[in-house]
Amino acid sequence: MKKSDFTFDLPAELIAQAPLSGRTDSRLLVVPSGTGAFEDRQFSHLSEYLKAGDLLVFNDTRVIPARLFGQKQTGGQVEILIERLLPAQQVRAQIGASKSPKPGSRIALTDGTSLKVIDRDGGFYRLQFETAEPVETLLNRLGKMPLPPYIQRDAVAADETRYQTVFAKHAGAVAAPTAGLHFDQALLDALRQQGVEFGHITLHVGAGTFQPMRSEHLKDHVMHSEWLNVGAELCAQIAATRLRGGRVIAVGTTVVRALESASQDGEVKPFAGDTQIFIFPGYRIRSVDVLLTNFHLPESTLLMLVSAFAGKQRIFDAYRHAVQQRYRFFSYGDAMMLFPQDAP
């Protein structure tokens, strides 16, 4: 199977450049199993597809203001995108500069704070913050929200809340788990009142999520690494949901990747650590019954994941329908509710 098998035509004007006024104002394309007709709904209608005893699993990562600007000792301007927070005031980051900085050199941020370049690993640098100020505090003071590259504008104040889920808790992501952006507190309260249960994983989405796949053949692709935590409490919730006949519903592809990474012999077990799991057609997803997700980029690993879950042809038919119906695509776009290709 090849990367080019996952290409589709998308008019540029369908790439959402900003969020709608309300989180639940997004549209929801429901894609039943088999050959059932697609349903064009609003995300606010989600409760009609859920029932008491279902378990919604969210990613509670919090996006950090990971974009910084500075100057090399030679005077050249640099842009820094932090990919991961490390111990001891260090970070893993990408650096945009006319000439790559060398290990041992320093970068001065806009307020004069000094960063030392420790070393380089491929496209990523390890940087040392030479200040006693905690890195998270400094980022909240100087950093900008790291909007995806297909959003052709600078981040504004509204992005600080709208490019963040309402249940975001653990800081560390440089991209939002976008399926969760459609939930507001009123919808969560209504679903809880309905008897729907909530669980959480943490997966810190890294900058690698936006890097294009370089290998043409899927078997040659090496996934970027991301840190996740699946706790014992969630594992117990999943087991209880299965026992009572409820469904495990993943809110986003990051939840699928986390639960599949934590699965052993078909059972989700507690796990904390890095994952490089690559899910594409031929892989059978066993940990979730339904997937809520946004629309994904052509030739992306996330498009391959949803194709593994709902079937490649079914996904491409749904995307064709979405383009015809003028759905909004990508991070600030609309959502899909996917059912598995092999459901009875």
Of the residues 142, 177, 199, the one at which a domain ends: 142
Residues 17 and 130 in one domain: no
Domain that holds residue 202: 3-63+160-338
- Stated pTM of the model: 0.95
Of the residues 142, 171, 187, the one at which a domain ends: 142
- Per the domain annotation, does 148 fall within a domain? no
Residues 57 and 80 in one domain: no
Which residues, 6+ apart, have CB-to-CB distance to 192 below 8 Å? 198
Instruction: Kindly list the distances between the CA atom of residue 314 and the CA atoms of 7, 33, 306, 321, in Å, as whole numbers in the listed order.
Output: 14, 9, 10, 11
Provide the CATH number for the domain around residue 130. 2.40.10.240
- Per the domain annotation, does 344 fall within a domain? no
Residues 133 and 194 in one domain: no
Distance separating alpha carbons of residues 244 and 277, to the nearest angstrom: 29
Residues 50 and 101 in one domain: no
Dihedral over Cα of 185, 41, 250, 306: its sign? negative
- pLDDT score of 213: 85
- Per the domain annotation, does 102 fall within a domain? yes
Residues 278 and 334 in one domain: yes
| Residue pointed to by tokens 């390890």 | 126
Residues 218 and 104 in one domain: no
Residues 26 and 123 in one domain: no
Residues 224 and 106 in one domain: no
Residues 165 and 228 in one domain: yes
Of the residues 111, 142, 173, the one at which a domain ends: 142
- pLDDT score of 258: 98
pLDDT tens string, the chain, 344 residues long: the values are 999 999 999 999 999 999 999 999 999 999 999 999 999 999 999 999 999 999 999 999 999 999 999 999 999 999 999 999 999 999 999 999 999 999 999 999 999 999 999 999 888 999 999 999 999 999 999 999 999 999 999 999 999 999 999 999 999 999 999 999 999 999 999 999 999 999 999 999 987 777 778 889 999 998 889 999 999 999 999 999 999 999 999 999 999 999 999 999 889 999 999 999 999 999 999 999 999 999 999 999 999 999 999 999 999 999 999 999 999 999 999 999 999 996 54
- Per the domain annotation, does 249 fall within a domain? yes
- pLDDT score of 207: 77
- pLDDT score of 344: 44
- pLDDT score of 120: 95
Q: How many domains does the chain have?
A: 2
- Per the domain annotation, does 152 fall within a domain? no
Residues 232 and 120 in one domain: no
Residues 275 and 188 in one domain: yes
- Per the domain annotation, does 106 fall within a domain? yes
CB atoms within 10 A of CB 69: 15
- Per the domain annotation, does 150 fall within a domain? no
Element (H, E) at 94: strand 90-97
Tell how strand 67-72 and strand 106-109 pair up.
antiparallel
- pLDDT score of 119: 96
- Per the domain annotation, does 117 fall within a domain? yes
Provide the CATH number for the domain around residue 200. 3.40.1780.10
Residues 329 and 228 in one domain: yes
